[in-house]
Chain A
Amino acid sequence: MQQCSPTRMELQKINSQVVLAIQGRDLLRQKMDALIQEFFLIMESATRSRDELEKTAEDARRALLIARAVDDTITLKSASFATKRSVVIDIHGRKVMGINIPVLEKKSFRKTVIEREYSIIGVSSRIDETAEAYEKELDLVIGLAETETALRKISHEIEITKRRVNALEEVVIPELKETGRYIRTTIEEREREDIFRLKKVKKILQKKKEKM
């Protein structure tokens, strides 16, 4: 219990603090509900994307294997020289219940044969399809990176909010109520003592009056 002076003013202050803490707790509960709702929505799309990514990765792996087997590793490597480049992604943010969630620029890395910058005459369509499969995988990986980061951030925020609600519910509000009760008891006790004292004084004054 916090140190306080048991006065009416303090009691009023504590009472208003209790009301505020209850309001805060209710707000945080609402925030947590909204976050959980958002979490499950994103979770659903993340699960779908993860399944799709697994399938695409398997297709890409198989396409690569076929291309290596039929066209030789060196032909594949030679084609990869033509299309080697870095991946540049723009990131900005959006707010979900006050949380900053990164949004990756939705830009497709899938290219047409012309954009791959090699001659299609010497490069087999197996290599082309391998490139295409990996470009698709890259698109999905970037999409999934956004959803997974959002999931991680939201789950972290849910945890923090839950801790705050628990702290308000289990510690702050009971402590404030306890303090309020203490102040009330002390004030009541003091009032009773005052009445008793006044009665005593009255009695003494009456006795003195009778003697005179």
Chain B
Amino acid sequence: MDRGYVNARVRGMRSRIVSNDFIIRLIDDPDIESLIDDLELSYFREDIERSSLLYSGINCVEQALRRNITRNFQKLFSLVEGKEWESLIEIFLSKWDIANLKTIIRSKKIHARPDEVLECLVPAGSLDEATLIELNREPDVRSVINLLATWRIKYAIPLTRTMKDIKDSTQTFLLEYALDHYYYDRALSLLSKETYDNSILRDLIKTEIDLVNLKSLLILARDKISPADAEHIYIEGGNQTKRIEFLRILENNLIDDLVEYCKKTGYGLFQDISRDSILLSRVSAFEREIDRFLVKKGVSCAYNDPLSIGLPLSYLWEKFNEVTNIRIIAWCKETGLTDEQVREELVYV
């Protein structure tokens, strides 16, 4: 694989990501219409023009952003398809597959209309639009899994295995957990070989596992969930989190243990965390810090070897961050939040 060529293309794509000045200009826009006008001046023009044919206002922006992220991720995937980085990029993009499959499973449970569900699917991963449409047409969860198995799509493995334990429709969340575990297990097994590229992504995934476990623990401790109910939520493979400790904190339900655990596994994020901050703050406030940390870590992958997977990974995180920030600004403009409130909610600038 010509790493130089791929990286040059990625650098080109990266140069089109909007600058911080542009983001600040969007924050200063008085309303959603001027924000759309500004976006039309950026490389979002094509997406805005296309979505404005069908939508207006905030819906136009949301649709354009979804289209933009799908288009760019697929473009990057096409650059590495059939080459040595394919599996690495695919690991990152699988998140969208997992999200799409979860949406389809949930919709089958409540018999939602297929057209209503289709709006919620983003074909940014390895499952393309045609596959998702076909899966969405299936009448129930079992048929969806059967179709995945027939087409030999990898996600059929955890779903088929877990489907045996499902007693009624209220337990379909077990399928979701099976998908989550499969995503992280598969990622770590694909990255088990000791190479420079693998080590970059592995470190990222392991950090993500630690932070996901930390977030889960905060939520579970808040709701006083018993270890028996929480056992399937813990994800193996993190750098610093240990199952036995995770379950012990839930068993004892002591805030001091939780504070200690957060300090230890928070990657320096929660050094100032205290009993009061856990009792008074919402978990979303901690999650915002976790999101910012992960995005920063993802973006900083670009500081590795210039010809490594670091640059494409960094681009994926930057793109995700860019789209999220523009969406936050657009929604705040739509509902009239102040500039300060907008800045507070931004993921990472």
Total number of A residues with any Cβ neighbor in B under 8 Å: 29
Instruction: Give complex CA distance A96, B112 in Å.
Output: 45
Stretch from B150-158, B299-307, B326-334 contacting the other chain: B326-334
Enumerate chain A residues within 8 angstroms of B233, measured Cβ to Cβ. 119-121
Enumerate chain A residues within 8 angstroms of B335, measured Cβ to Cβ. 65
Instruction: Give complex CA distance A74, B102 in Å.
Output: 12
A112 part of interface (Cβ distance < 8 Å) = yes
A69 touches B327 (CB 8 A): yes
Enumerate chain B residues within 8 angstroms of A75, measured Cβ to Cβ. 99
Enumerate chain B residues within 8 angstroms of A114, measured Cβ to Cβ. 223, 225, 229-230
B62 touches A128 (CB 8 A): no
How close is B136's CB to chain A, nearest CB, in angstroms?
12
Enumerate chain B residues within 8 angstroms of A82, measured Cβ to Cβ. 106, 109, 172-173
Nearest residue, chain A, Cβ from B337: A65
How close is A54's CB to chain B, nearest CB, in angstroms?
18
Known A78-B103, A81-B106, A112-B223; contact A128-B120, beta-carbon cutoff 8 A: no
B316 part of interface (Cβ distance < 8 Å) = no
Contact among B120, B220, B230, B345 for A66, CB-based, below 8 A:
B345
B205 part of interface (Cβ distance < 8 Å) = no
Enumerate chain A residues within 8 angstroms of B112, measured Cβ to Cβ. 81, 84
Q: Chain B interface mostly helix, strand, loop or mixed? A: helix
A181 part of interface (Cβ distance < 8 Å) = no
B284 touches A124 (CB 8 A): yes
Nearest residue, chain A, Cβ from B112: A81
A74 touches B66 (CB 8 A): yes
Instruction: Give complex CA distance A30, B218 in Å.
Output: 57
Enumerate chain B residues within 8 angstroms of A73, measured Cβ to Cβ. 62
How close is A62's CB to chain B, nearest CB, in angstroms?
9
A125 touches B331 (CB 8 A): no
Enumerate chain B residues within 8 angstroms of A70, measured Cβ to Cβ. 324, 327-328, 345, 347
B219 touches A125 (CB 8 A): yes
Instruction: Give complex CA distance A84, B215 in Å.
Output: 24
Known A72-B327, A119-B177, A121-B180; contact A113-B102, beta-carbon cutoff 8 A: no
> B172-186 CB contact bits vs A (8 Å, 1 = yes)?
110011011000000
B283 part of interface (Cβ distance < 8 Å) = yes
A128 touches B219 (CB 8 A): yes
Known A117-B173, A121-B177; contact A69-B106, beta-carbon cutoff 8 A: no
Enumerate chain B residues within 8 angstroms of A126, measured Cβ to Cβ. 284, 287
B62 touches A72 (CB 8 A): yes
A182 part of interface (Cβ distance < 8 Å) = no
B223 touches A118 (CB 8 A): no
> A60-95 CB contact bits vs B (8 Å, 1 = yes)?
000001101110111101110110100000000000
> A197-211 CB contact bits vs B (8 Å, 1 = yes)?
000000000000000
Enumerate chain A residues within 8 angstroms of B229, measured Cβ to Cβ. 114
How close is B251's CB to chain A, nearest CB, in angstroms?
16
Contact among B109, B179, B180, B331 for A69, CB-based, below 8 A:
B331
> B93-128 CB contact bits vs A (8 Å, 1 = yes)?
000001100110011011010000101111000000
Enumerate chain A residues within 8 angstroms of B170, measured Cβ to Cβ. 117
A129 part of interface (Cβ distance < 8 Å) = yes
Instruction: Give complex CA distance A119, B121 in Å.
Output: 17
Enumerate chain B residues within 8 angstroms of A98, measured Cβ to Cβ. none
A121 touches B284 (CB 8 A): no
Contact among B102, B120, B225 for A119, CB-based, below 8 A:
B102
B62 touches A120 (CB 8 A): no
Contact among B98, B107, B110, B283 for A125, CB-based, below 8 A:
B283
Known A69-B331, A122-B98; contact A128-B122, beta-carbon cutoff 8 A: no
A121 touches B235 (CB 8 A): yes
Contact among B110, B117, B119, B173 for A84, CB-based, below 8 A:
B110
15 A-B pairs with C-beta separation under 8 A: A65-B331, A78-B102, A81-B103, A81-B109, A82-B172, A84-B110, A84-B112, A112-B224, A113-B223, A114-B223, A114-B229, A119-B233, A122-B99, A125-B286, A129-B282
B→A interface (CB under 8 Å):
62, 66, 98-99, 102-103, 106-107, 109-110, 112, 117, 119-122, 170, 172-173, 176-177, 179-180, 212, 215-216, 218-220, 223-225, 229-230, 233, 235, 282-284, 286-287, 324, 327-328, 330-332, 335, 337, 345, 347
A→B interface (CB under 8 Å):
65-66, 68-70, 72-75, 77-79, 81-82, 84, 112-114, 117-122, 124-126, 128-129
Complex A-B, nearest 3 residue pairs according to Cβ-Cβ distance, in ascending order:
A69-B331, A119-B176, A81-B106
Q: A65-B335, A124-B284, A129-B284 are in contact. List 20 more A-B contacts (CB 8 A).
A: A65-B331, A66-B345, A72-B62, A72-B66, A74-B103, A78-B106, A81-B107, A82-B172, A82-B173, A112-B223, A113-B219, A114-B230, A117-B173, A119-B179, A119-B233, A120-B219, A121-B176, A121-B177, A122-B176, A129-B282
